[in-house]
Structure 1
Amino acid sequence: MDRHERLSALLDMVGQREKIDVEASAEELDVSAATIRRDLDHLAGRRLLTRTRGGAVASNVAYDLPLRHKAARKAPEKQRISAAAARLVERGMVLGLNGGTTSTEVARALVLRPELAQQRDSSPALTVVTNALNIAHELAVRPNIKIVVTGGVARQHSFELTGPLASLFLDQITLDLVFLGVDAFDAERGAFAHHEGEASINRLLASRARQVTVIADGGKLGGHAFARICDTTAVDQLITDAGAAPDQVTAFEAAGVEVLLA
């Protein structure tokens, strides 16, 4: 295993486990503890994880992790959430999807819906509007799904398009339903993203939709991040996992948000 492979493996490990130990990692990767320490120091210097005494933990700035390293976190919960979200989609809808690992799982769940895969006429079974390049790439090969990409400037870590070009496009359309992936969602303060450019586009996506559904695992509830996407009053529904704290669920329901536990 060369250094590049080793660094990638360490990121995968911390993404899946959220905490790793130097000695255990050295044994698992069959290298010396000193090598692992140097690797962890290198990754910490790039803000891809946080060094601790004897190991490392997932970084507090996890939004800077490349998307594939975030995908492993809470994977079962995200898959259940995405399956529940996909079941709400009806043939002929115009659907909005922003970027993120949960939104990506929703896109994958959509293609498993048999009624969306059947060819009935020349019209698409579903139109998906997205600012996420990876989602557009995955769905573009599906003949029954029409993909519309917002345009804009791509962010390296999230694959999301942001900026005035995306805003100009979104001002001209309407959506039946938007699934909004968020970095945090609080019943009083609203939905948040770590990056202000992503928050701006996500806010506009939500404003163009007849129904706004936030998709977020229970760990994202009750917190906040740097940039607010929208108020809680702008959200119609929340799909989260069954492990979400009951007091959080109650707070969202009291705020008028329908909560679906997956």
Structure 2
Amino acid sequence: MQRKELAERLNQAGIFLFGVAPMPAEEFLLQCRAKSKIPEGAKSVIVCLFPYYSPELEQGNISQYAMVEDYHKVVGSYLSRACELLSQVGGKFVPFVDNSPIPEVSIALQAGLGKQGKNGLLITKQYGTYQFIGEIVTDQLLEYDVSSKAFCCGCGRCETACPGKAIQHGKIRLEQCASHINQLKRDLTEQEQQLVKDCGLVWGCDICQKVCPHNQNIQTTTIPEFLRPPVCSVSWETIPKLVQTRAFGFRGPKPLLRNYQLLYPESCIK
């Protein structure tokens, strides 16, 4: 398949930001159940980006990526449509989103789509760190993009601002990351509870993104699903219903209710 035809079919599916990288070797793949979906003889990975930022997401008590419609469903639908169109010319095309055996930021860099921040996130010129990554793995040999070896400006603001000091020397210590901790299902230690309070969000943590200079003056998404009125804040009453339509739904309501009670103990219904 020529590059022009690939772009046309992806554009027809509503995907306009993409790059192509070679299929990673077995030793670089992540161990997950979705790994069994990789087509036999996989040769190429089409890496697709789905920006979600809009000014409406600036204020709230959950991470901005969770304010919009569940990206698992939104991105999944775009990728599935693209696979249908691409398979019409022959070959196997399999979509992956989030639960992927392919390291997403790493493959996006190999596809020449941006650079990597000290917080581990992909940075693009148009959308900063505010994009979801999806992949289409195929047994077709496609034209690869030039791998990106660029890094962020290195200002260190994310390291300084991180409430748990989880960003150190370009690596993330998950046991100190507020976003990782407030998603845990188990009971939290006193130190972990304090980190949730320091972060100030019921779900996730956006501090490292908000202080990043690469996220200044970025473009608003053009994806219709992410432009619909967001849910910027949750309450004790709305959490059980919102888990059905937002990205945090896979964890169920208990972690969010626990975090909400830590942040707003006076407003919880007993």
Is the shorter-chain TM-score for this pair beyond 0.5, marking a shared fold? Answer: no
TM-score if structure 2 supplies the norm length?
0.28
| Greater strand share, structure number | 1
Q: Which has the higher contact order (CA 8 A, sep 6+)?
A: 2
